[in-house]
Every structure is written in structure tokens, then in C-alpha cells.
């Protein structure tokens, strides 16, 4: 990367590298976990804990995305869909991406040290999961599930940051994230079905074909809706929560209406727009239900 490049341009390049806008997927569920701890489980609200939790989200996700781009740089260069990404395009060098991964990882672990002991010791487990995901496409079609596991740590992690212990309710939200993310990642991977087969990479679409992959995605999203309902029952939330649940499930159904086995033209709309709206709207209704 050109050292004479303006600082704001470099900053934007790194935001693009880690797809910072996609933080909208997991962050709303982390805020749900935080709200459950403070309001539902009656722990004191502390701005500093909230800030440290948000920093952990940013650092962990930055490390995971940068490492994924670093590790997949040769595949990205050969794939017409991804050849313009920052590393294959020469905007950010592999060394810079790796250093960014290491620094983000260190900042994540250090931040957890200032939260509580449980978060600190579990930070190494979380870091292993989110970095290990980048290897999984090389040997298993279950890579989508591993990604789901990584993002599903957000509600549990936020709850743990406040309380220092585990509880069943945030676990239910984490299970809903796991199945939701795994399902929409399969939809996203439909774009690379032929490329993955040609490169001996593993994915549900490459293993099962488009039609069966969509079926697996649908089943996972049925699971996500089920866990959201179970969380509502467990938390004994008000009608506000159930309005948010209805919208969330409706948006899951809608994204499957957008993507057909013979028409993948709306994959990005289903992946980005629909899921981003689903997470934000659901979190707003859920947090309102917890507060009220």
C-alpha cells in the first residue's frame, strides 16, 4: 500500500477489508445479551463495561475478517467475484493484513482482561474459533456452521461481560444466531458453487448443489425462528417481543423467496439487506421488551 496515501483513505481501505458494515449482523444480538444481563438479571448498568464489550466485538471481528482475507488471498485472486478485494488488488499487502490481524487479536484479549476473569480466559477459546473458521473451507462443508458458532458468541459474551457467569436465556439467543448465520452464509456461498468445486474447496452448495443447499439453509432458519420463540417463552417477554419475532421470521421467509435454484440474482439482497434489517429490527423490539 502506498505510504503517501492519505490517512483517511487507508482507514477506509481497512474498513473495506474487514467489511465493517457487516458488523450489523452480530452486534445487535450482543446488545440483547447486554440488556438481558442489566435489566432481566438485575445487574448494574456501567457505561465502561458497555464500551469494553463493544470494543471486544470490533477487535474480534476485525481479526477474524482480516485473517480470512489474508488466508484466502490466492483463492480470491482467482475468483472473478473477489479479485478486486483489497489484498489481491494490491491495495493492502498480505503482511499488512496479517499484522492487522495480530494487533486486533492482541487488543481483543487485552480488553477482555479489563472486563473480568471469565471473559479473559474464554477470549482464547473465542479467538481460536473465529480464526479457525478461515481454515475450515479447505476440509469440511460444515464451514458455515463454524462461522455461525463464531458469531453466536456475541450474546453470550456480552452477557458474560456484565455478569461473569452463563445463563440459559442468552444461550438460546446464541443458538438462534448460530442457525441464522449458518443459513444465510449458505445462501451467500451459492455464488461460488462452481468455483469452490473447481478449487477443491468445501461448502454446502458445492457438496449438495443449489437446490439441496437452499433446503439446508431453510431448515437452519426454521431452527433460528424456533430458538427465538423459545427465548421469548423463557424470558416471559411482553407482546413487543413477539412483534419483533414476527418481523424477524417474516424476513427470514422473505430472503428465501428472493433466492431460487434457477435465479441467484438477488443473493446479495437476501444476504446483506434482508439480514441486516432483520437483526437490527429484532434487537430494537427485543431490547424494548426487556426495558418495558
On whether the pTM is more than 0.85, the answer is yes
Residues with Cβ within 8 Å of 70's Cβ and at least 6 positions away in sequence, in order, are 87, 94, 97, 98, 101
Q: Within a 10 A sphere around the Cβ of 50, how many other Cβ atoms?
A: 17
Residue with cell 438460546: 172
Separation CA 288–CA 279 (nearest Å): 14
Separation CA 248–CA 270 (nearest Å): 13
> If the chain, 292 residues long, is cut into consecutive pieces of 10 residues, what is the mean pLDDT of each piece?
66 78 83 96 95 95 95 96 93 95 97 97 97 97 97 96 96 98 96 95 96 97 98 96 98 94 86 88 97 90
Count of all residues that appear for the chain in the document = 292
Q: What is the pLDDT of residue 15?
A: 77
Q: What is the pLDDT of residue 292?
A: 87
In contact, 20 and 143? CB cutoff 8 Å: no
Q: What is the pLDDT of residue 2?
A: 53
List, in order of start, the domains of the chain with CATH numbers. 12-291 (1.10.357.140)
Amino acid at each position: 500500500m502506498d505510504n503517501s496515501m492519505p490517512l483517511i483513505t487507508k482507514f477506509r481501505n481497512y474498513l473495506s477489508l474487514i467489511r465493517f458494515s457487516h458488523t450489523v449482523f452480530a452486534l445487535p444480538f450482543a446488545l440483547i445479551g447486554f440488556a438481558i444481563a442489566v435489566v432481566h438479571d438485575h445487574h448494574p448498568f456501567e457505561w465502561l463495561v458497555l464500551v469494553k464489550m463493544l470494543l471486544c466485538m470490533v477487535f474480534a471481528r476485525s481479526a477474524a475478517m482480516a485473517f480470512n482475507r489474508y488466508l484466502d488471498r490466492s483463492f480470491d485472486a482467482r475468483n472473478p467475484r473477489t479479485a478486486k478485494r483489497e489484498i489481491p488488488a494490491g491495495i493492502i499487502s498480505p503482511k499488512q493484513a496479517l499484522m492487522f490481524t495480530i494487533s486486533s487479536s492482541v487488543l481483543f484479549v487485552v480488553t477482555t482482561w479489563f472486563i473480568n476473569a471469565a471473559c479473559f480466559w474464554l477470549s482464547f477459546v473465542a479467538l481460536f474459533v473465529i480464526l479457525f473458521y478461515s481454515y475450515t473451507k479447505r476440509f469440511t462443508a460444515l464451514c458455515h456452521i463454524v462461522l455461525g458458532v463464531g458469531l453466536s458468541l456475541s450474546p453470550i459474551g456480552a452477557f458474560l461481560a456484565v455478569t461473569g457467569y452463563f445463563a440459559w436465556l442468552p444461550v438460546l439467543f446464541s443458538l438462534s444466531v448460530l442457525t441464522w448465520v449458518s443459513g444465510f452464509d449458505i445462501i451467500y456461498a451459492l455464488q461460488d458453487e462452481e468455483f469452490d468445486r473447481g478449487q477443491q474447496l468445501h461448502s454446502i452448495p458445492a457438496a449438495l448443489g443449489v437446490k439441496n443447499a437452499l433446503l439446508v439453509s431453510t431448515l437452519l432458519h426454521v431452527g433460528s425462528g424456533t430458538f427465538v420463540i423459545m427465548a421469548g417463552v423463557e424470558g416471559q417477554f411482553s407482546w413487543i417481543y413477539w412483534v419483533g419475532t414476527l418481523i424477524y421470521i417474516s424476513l427470514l421467509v422473505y430472503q428465501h423467496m428472493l433466492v431460487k435454484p434457477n435465479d441467484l440474482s438477488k443473493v446479495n439482497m437476501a444476504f446483506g439487506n434482508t439480514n441486516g434489517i432483520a437483526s437490527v429490527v429484532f434487537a430494537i423490539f427485543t431490547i424494548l421488551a426487556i426495558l418495558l
